[in-house]
Amino acid sequence: MRRVLAAVFLLLLLLPVVARAQEAVVFLPDVQIAAPSGFSNAYLSDLAVAGSEVRATWVGQRTYGSYGWGYSVSHDGGRTFSSSPAPGGAGQGSTSARVATLPDGRFAYLWAEPGNGLLAAVEDADGSFRWSSSLATNETPYLDIGADETGVYTSWIDYVGGAGRLMIGELDPDSLRLTRYAVVASGAYGFSSNVRVSVREGVLGIVWISVDYYAYTTAVMFSHAGTDLNASSPVSVSESGYWSGGFPRVAVGPGGIAFVMFAQPYANDPVGAWTALPPDYDFEFFTGLEDAIGASRIDDLAAEFDSQGRMLLVWVDGQHGLVESSVRFTRASSGLSQFLPLTRLDVDYTRSKGGLAVAANEEGRVYVAWSTWGAGSDSDVHVAREVQALPPPEPASVLLLSGVLGMGVVGAASVVFLLRRSRRKPRPEQPSDGTRA
């Protein structure tokens, strides 16, 4: 019965719906975010939004040579930003900093520092910060954080005795302590890297690159867990991951569906995407990806489901890292089906792009961020926002699969169909030229 329900759910996600005329998503001109005083450049690390509050984290080289992270804040929906180094002098030597939106609108940050290990901070509603003591011994950039109404979850690589363990934990945003943690995978014969985590409806999806020194293989791996952090045995999504530069991405959608993407930047390898459903998570190749993005080889990518369960895709379409690369975006009309025409977000052909992130607020308005760089190390960060959130298709059946179909401690499944209707509202702001593909 579970397999039948899962098959029906996936079919409904992939089937087209009756929708309004297909139009490309329109964005306002992107905003360039300058690094603050004391930094010579900035390279995007992550993006999070809550209502009109936008946060971008980035890593930059300090003017005196070392690296560190900082963050950029917008209180007006991405129209303007102010940038600051990490609060309290934190982030010395950090090469990655992640940020997640909490259910109450606050923001949680996660990073690692040489000598101090894994650290977290919470930005409260008044803009003040509280930060943790060391949470773990991790000092690598391989870490991530995600949150939903069930909690705040972290993932990191913890190197102990030369062996890398992939960990997950639950972070209490008030005490800033890990209330519990668990081992997902142990790299006794190699190591893990490039971890990403996504959480929705209490379902955690974790992807990473696993390198086996003895077998001379690399693979994109996946594991899932419930709120009890009882992680499933890792499964190989694809035997085509390359730890030296590959970027696996995972997005958990309605009903626990997992969408995994992988691309090897600046290489002649095609991008791949896979989908799977609980409880077994048997991954199948997503054949509609090339049609959705209009390309088979890209240089960077990011993916996320919005609050209405529609897939958001952003990627760099270029000549494998050379000039004339461009940032492009598309959104599914429903689930993983009926992708809209492509939108081009940037207008500068002279610089390379990468470091992508995509997020949407509770209204469905999309924000996309990326980095650009030229011949030197003068990288900077850009953020673009959608003119106005696109309402759900009218009419359309929106399928929500509540429960986790037997995952973790949840043993029952219930399928709820919600019929949503809305009408397009006038757009109060106008985009600049060149926003469409």
Decide: 43 and 356 in contact? Cβ < 8 Å. Answer: no
Decide: 143 and 118 in contact? Cβ < 8 Å. Answer: yes
Q: What is the dihedral of CA 33, 34, 36, 40, to 10 degrees?
A: 130
pLDDT score at 188: 57
Residue whose tokens read 């029952």: 412
pLDDT score at 436: 42
DSSP state of 375: S
Sign of CA dihedral 9, 14, 17, 19: positive
Per-residue pLDDT of the chain (437 residues; tens, 9 = 90+): 555 545 544 544 544 444 444 688 999 999 999 888 889 889 999 999 999 999 999 999 888 878 999 999 999 999 999 999 998 888 888 989 999 999 999 999 999 998 899 999 999 999 999 999 999 887 778 999 999 999 999 999 887 655 678 999 999 999 999 999 999 998 655 678 889 999 999 999 999 988 777 777 788 899 999 999 999 999 999 765 554 556 789 999 999 999 999 876 666 666 789 999 999 999 999 988 888 888 767 878 899 999 999 999 999 886 544 456 789 999 999 889 899 999 999 877 778 888 899 999 999 999 999 999 876 657 889 999 999 766 655 443 333 333 333 333 223 332 332 333 333 343 445 554 444 44
Distance CA 408, CA 230 (A): 7
**Partners of residue 208 on adjacent β-strands:** 221
Distance CA 106, CA 320 (A): 37
Task: Quote the tokens at residue 305.
Answer: 């489901």
Distance CA 54, CA 28 (A): 15
Burial of 20: CB neighbours in 10 Å, binned 0-12, 13-18, 19+:
middle
Question: What φ, ψ does residue 174 adopt, rounded to 5°?
Answer: -90, -50
Distance CA 115, CA 32 (A): 33
Taking the domains of the chain in order of start, what are their residue ranges? 2-420
**Spatial CA neighbour of 148 closest among 201, 105, 111:** 201
**Spatial CA neighbour of 143 closest among 109, 175, 116:** 109
**Chain CA centroid to CA 59, Å:** 17
pLDDT score at 345: 93
Second CATH level (architecture) for the domain 2-420: 6 Propeller (2.120)
Residues 6+ apart with CB under 8 A from 244: none
Predicted TM-score (pTM) of this structure? 0.85
Decide: 167 and 231 in contact? Cβ < 8 Å. Answer: no
Task: Find the radius of gyration of the CA atoms of the chain.
Answer: 20
